[in-house]
Amino acid sequence: MAHLESGDLVGKILLQWTRYIHAHFASKRCGPEDVPVQENHWSRGGDIEGMENDRFRDPLSAADLDILKNRTFADNTEKKVSWAVNLFKKWWSQRVSKPGCDMRIMWGDLNNVKQISKGNLAFSLCAFISEVKKKDGTEFPGTTLYQIIVCIQFFLQKHGIDWKILDDTDFVCLCFTLDNVMKQRVKTGLGLKKSVQVISVMDEEHMWEQGVLGDSNPDQL
């Protein structure tokens, strides 16, 4: 009998404790309006939309996209390549108009770059660097001729033709021709930088005595 009374007592205590816990948490219950809203970027939908709009550039036209796709080199390099290729085309158009033009030059036209062969291009470039001149009729320095050939190689690469015209054995005649032409230009002093000659004290005094140096007119200064 005592055992049952003890069990009933424990049950009553547990029941009272459960009711207390339930009443305590019920009094602390908060409504949705009482829950603090955390400030974050997801709660600022309007601001995010504005940021996303500023994130991207205005749509490009098809023409602008084509320019970006076709631009292989820097702007300055593109200008040099264009100048070198146009110079070759001008030379070629005059060369083929003269009687007795070699057929390899006839077929060495950069206007039909997709159909040109290595042999015809190599022969045409050999003749080109040997014959081309400036507008005033003077010769190009050897370094300029070398740069022209490099620009033409860039032009070929831009059109999907990966020929190393300064390394390929099929263009060995071009390398020999370019090397010999550059040596000839150096022998004539073309393209060489003039060295500065140091004037000794005695030479300076003599130039003052002869009136070469002075302060009486601008030419003497």
How far from 170 is each of 14, 108, 111, 131, 162, CA to CA, in Å?
Answer: 101, 14, 21, 21, 13
Give the SS3 label for residue 197.
Answer: coil
CB 190, CB 196: distance < 8 Å: no
Place of tokens 């014959």: 131
Q: Write the pLDDT tens digit of every residue in 87-143.
A: 999 999 999 998 889 999 988 888 888 889 999 999 999 999 999 999 999 999 999
Q: Is the dihedral of CA 180, 184, 185, 187 positive or negative?
A: positive
Give the model's pLDDT for residue 193. Answer: 63
Predicted structure pTM score: 0.57
Residue spans per domain, the chain = 70-187
